[in-house]
Structure 1
Amino acid sequence: MSAPLLIALAMTLGFSLPSDREVDARAGAWDASVQAENDGNVQRAREILAAAWSPEAAGYEVTVRLAWLSFRLGDLDAAERLYQRARSMDGAGPEATQGLAATHARRGFIELHAGDVEAARASFRAALTINPRYSEARRGLSLCRTHPFDLEFWIGGYSVAEPQRTTGALGFAHLRLRPSQHLRLRAAYRFQGYWVEQSTDTGPGFQGGRSQTKSVGENRHELWAGGGVEATWLGVEALGLWMPSTDQPTLFGQAARLRLGERVGVSMEQAVLGFRGEAGYQLAPAGYAWMSRSVAANAGARFTHDAAGGAWAAEAGLSLFADPAELYLSGRVGRARWPVAVTIPSVLGVDGDVRYGGTLTLMFGVSEATALGINAEVHRLETADGDTTYFGAALGLRLSPPVE
């Protein structure tokens, strides 16, 4: 076919042929773009193609490649626009469909990381509308499910071996409410009942001087309530405490926690406990870091000042997440008196100083809304009557129904 006939046909069909200059610019542009991408210069790879083909002149393969390079560069608006254009072309393949779904899913993860759950949910649903089988979009949508409340129940026991054998029962209930994206409310109740075996010498005038043993019991209750706000870089929470006891004055107190940072940051816990006109103060600064999505660690110190004087202890913790299991480890070395935990509101109310010890908690999800747990803790205590060891163990149930 002669050149004049080609030109006439092009004018009849409504499009123009590329000029000699355009043909020269496109020659080798594809290979040069691929080479630039292989060399790690994705920006240059996109520039080469964009310079060689205008959006109107680019065919399906070039449009899909420009969309892919834009996706790699994080230019999701351009990637979405180009993938949509490629899908509308005659002979469009599955690459455009999958690429558009991946673009929506990636935008969803970015929005989820920024804390915009509603926008993320919309992006993941858009991806699933395009490709209902896209596993990454399904995973992202599952992460958008909110858990408006967590409810935990724990029951267990403990013992202190010396100098007077003490055994006891523990019960714990903990409710966390999330009325909105940032607002948090909490309430907790902890029961501690124990019995102390006391031996008395009857003397030589009564049954040959043999000893008699009896048990003396006490019940202690902890009632916690409070709330706070949680955001990406900031968390603030305050709790109040009321602790009535059967044979000791009622104890009042409060605890608070401040967090600054996201994947890496610092926190400060503070507590005040007081009864009989005396007050004890605690400060626990710490640093934390998420090494990955499944590993987090923290380390810090706890300072105590009360009627018995000052004390300090080093503290550290490690959290591991491997769906469906969660493992929490914490330890303490130094000297602490009645240390307060804010995350799981409780007071280790034992007589004497805690010298060292640790806690292990394992949670195992049996369904999306239910998890079973086991807790064990050991602490070495220094009391006025000598050193002793505290052992405790408990079984737990956590209910956390999801809502999309």
Structure 2
Amino acid sequence: MDRTTARTATATKVAKLTPLDEALFKPIHLLATICVLGGAYVDGYILGIIGPGLVMGQSELQLGPLSQGLIASSALIGVFVGGLIFGSLADRFGRRPVFFWNLLAFVVLSLLQLVTVGVWDLVLIRLALGLAIGVEYAVGTAVLAEFSKRKGRGVILGNFAVFWMIGFVCAFLVGVVWSGDNWRLLLATSAVPAFIVFVLRTRLPETPMWLKAKGRVDEAEAVVRKHYGEGYHIPEVVLGERQPSPKELFTRDNWRSSLYSGLFWFCQVGPFFAIFTFLTPVFDSLGIEQTTGTEIVLNLIQLAGAGFGLLLLHWLSRRGFVTLTFAVIALTLIALGLLPGTSHWVVFLFALYLFMAPAANNIQYVYPSEIFDTRVRGTGVGFSAAFSRISAAGVTYMLPWLMAEFGGSVTMLIMAIFPIIGLVASIAWAPETKETSLT
């Protein structure tokens, strides 16, 4: 049989097989989903628990506005570095090894918070936790995208934001019911969910798409046979002998989509992390009366918003999603800045922001994974996550100072700059990737 005939026979055989991203639901789909969304929950919990922890430890640590901002933003700075480093490592050495060991880091670093004695050692531990969280953003979404079915992939990936928000809200609720003033033990509670997810990830294999992209076709097909059965083939992926480089994200053909992938995320999370980390001071600055009941209701509104975001992912195109949510959030923040603090509209508008911001966040874990090819997906998503944390860390660090210097109304107007930039960028650059096959 000559080479041409052999290629034809192979193509005919593949044509009779079902693409892996169209496979019927299998246990591996459930395992991958639980492993990734469990990591999202842990991320949200770790970043959320610092809010009540700082309130509880403020007197002992003698925290001022800038030191509060430094501790709160330190994990976000770590995410910036972690996204850049570990996304590239996952493209070079595999999703599984990077994705597996970062959960062990979560457990160890969470427990180390029990022995902190001052501001700077807490900052260093939170910075290291941020490095591990960067793995989840860069690698977790790539893993879930590569194990997901093509149809409905956006909704599945969007659940990353929902479970992140569930973790964030659970951290707040734990802080509400926490008895005593042991803020170190409160911070260390994140070790419990981290250990559970770590155990689950011991069962997750390498993704067949990454193996095929590396030319390890036999290993990829072995994973498919074990976890999917016979009759499936792995979709064509971008191959290359060279190791992926971040420079590939900024070639003539790729630079616009790569930059947009980081920029829209940058514009979403700057105000989000700052406002949600310092909800109590923001309430005070806007004249919103605080009770435990009010805070619980507002946190439930956040969860409802995250769920609503899944519906928007199903209903709207990717471009439609980002333009609509940026427009609504920008108008809401502008209105919060312009209305007097005693107005009942302030409570309504703030509730609207708490609803729409988590809804908008669903796209963060969908868009980048769809924009980048398999070969550079970890690098691309890692870059996007890292770029976004510039605003998340910077605005979170500055927010207590901004409110102390200028008040809540002016601060909300400053926050509105971010979604306005995001709206303009989305209209100009946002690609449409809904229900396209990964390459």
Flag whether TM exceeds 0.5 (same fold): no
Q: What TM-score does the superposition give when structure 1 sets the normalisation length?
A: 0.24
Higher helix share: 2
